[in-house]
Chains A and B, each alone.
Chain A
Amino acid sequence: MSRRQLELHIDFARCDGRGLCTELLPELLVRDDWGYPVGRGGRDVHVPERLSDAAQDAVDLCPLQALMLRRVTRA
Chain B
Amino acid sequence: MTAMTLDPRQLGTGGLFAAGRPDLAAHEAAYGRRPSGWTRKELLAELDASGLTGRGGAGFPAWRKLAATGSGRAVVIANGAEGEPASRKDATLLREAPHLVLDGLVTVGEAVGASTLFLYATRDSLASVAQALAERRDRPKVKLVEAPEAFISGEASAVVNALETGVALPRDKALRLGTSGYEGRPTLLHNVETLAHLALVARFGASWFRSAGTAEDPGTRLYSLSGDVPTEWVVEAPGGATVRDVLRLGHAEPSSLAAVLVGGFHGAWVPAEAFDLPLTGRGLARYGATPGAGVLMGLARGRCGLESSAGIVRYLAESSARQCGPCMFGLPAMASVIERIAAGERTPWLASEAERLAGLVTGRGACRHPDGSAKFVHSTLAVFRDEVQAHLSGMCTAHRGWA
Residues of A within 8 A of B (CB): 9-17, 32-36, 38, 41-44, 68
Contacts and interface: CB of A to CB of B under 8 A. Distances in A.
Given A17-B325, A35-B325, A12 B366 contact: yes
Given A35-B325, A36-B325, A68-B174, A13 B366 contact: yes
B351 interface: no
Interface string B112-146: 00000000000000000000000000000000000
Nearest to B172: A11
B364 A43 contact: yes
B180 interface: no
B289 to A, nearest CB: 22
Given A13-B172, A33-B360, A38-B360, 20 more contacts: A9-B174, A12-B326, A12-B327, A13-B170, A13-B324, A13-B365, A13-B366, A32-B325, A32-B326, A32-B364, A33-B330, A33-B333, A34-B325, A34-B329, A34-B330, A36-B364, A38-B364, A42-B363, A43-B172, A43-B364
B330 to A, nearest CB: 7
A12 B330 contact: no
11 contacts: A9-B174, A11-B366, A12-B364, A13-B170, A13-B171, A15-B325, A32-B326, A33-B329, A35-B325, A38-B360, A44-B363
Nearest to A34: B329
Nearest to B157: A13
B211 interface: no
Interface residues of B, number: 18
B393 interface: no
A33 B174 CA distance: 25
A13 B323 contact: yes
B280 interface: no
B389 interface: no
B326 A36 contact: yes
B362 interface: yes
Nearest to A17: B325
Contacts of B326: 12, 32, 34, 36
B174 A12 contact: no
Interface centre among B324, B327, B333, B365 (most CB of A within 10 A): B324
Contacts of A15: 324-325
A42 B362 contact: yes
Contacts of B323: 12-13
Contacts of A12: 172, 323-327, 364-366
B172 A16 contact: no
A41 B174 contact: no
Contacts of B172: 11-14, 43
B371 to A, nearest CB: 8
A41 B364 CA distance: 9
Contacts of A14: 172
A42 B362 CA distance: 7
Interface string B310-345: 000000000000011111011001000000000000
Nearest to B333: A33
Nearest to A66: B172
Contacts of B171: 13
Contacts of B333: 33
B325 A16 contact: yes
A21 B362 CA distance: 20
A42 B323 CA distance: 16
A65 to B, nearest CB: 11
Nearest to A9: B174
A30 to B, nearest CB: 11
B325 A11 contact: no
Nearest to B366: A13
Contacts of A44: 363
B329 A41 contact: no
Interface in B8-37: none
Contacts of A16: 325
Nearest to A40: B363
Contacts of B324: 12-13, 15
